[in-house]
Amino acid sequence: MNIPLEFWNSCFSALAEAVQPNHLLTAIGASMGAGLACISAALGIGRIASSAVESIARQPEASGDIRGAMILTCAFVEGVCLFAVVVTLLAVLKIPSPPA
């Protein structure tokens, strides 16, 4: 997938106009932090599901216990991801708006 350079230029110029220059790195860092948290959570949940399916294949009689532990662990990972996104959102919203 090839995204044109004009798209990125318009995104970053809109971001630069929205916040003051000294807060631009905070906004970019918070955006990258939220994205990294979501990607990491997705990879973690995929790994949990993979291990659970493998465990159920090896020991089918314990599938109920394994499934319950998998769902609970995935919920915890998703909660941590949501918390990380909220923290990064708060970091961006704490940035004062430029004077008019």
Residue 63 placed within a domain: yes
Residue 81 placed within a domain: yes
Which CATH number fits the domain that encloses residue 68? 1.20.20.10
Residue 64 placed within a domain: yes
Identify the pLDDT of residue 90: 82
Per-residue pLDDT tens listing for the chain (100 residues): 566 767 766 766 666 665 566 677 777 888 888 889 999 999 999 999 999 999 999 999 999 999 999 999 999 999 999 998 888 888 777 766 666 5
Packing angle between helix 5-18 and helix 24-58, nearest 10 degrees?
120
Residue 6 placed within a domain: no
Residue 58 placed within a domain: yes
DSSP-assigned letters across all residues of 23-48: GHHHHHHHHHHHHHHHHHHHHHHHHH
Residue 26 placed within a domain: no
Domain that holds residue 56: 33-93
Question: Distances from the Cα of 85 to the Cαs of 57, 61, 73, 95, in angstroms?
Answer: 35, 38, 19, 16
Residue 2 placed within a domain: no
Identify the pLDDT of residue 11: 65
Number of domains the chain is built from:
1
Residue 85 placed within a domain: yes
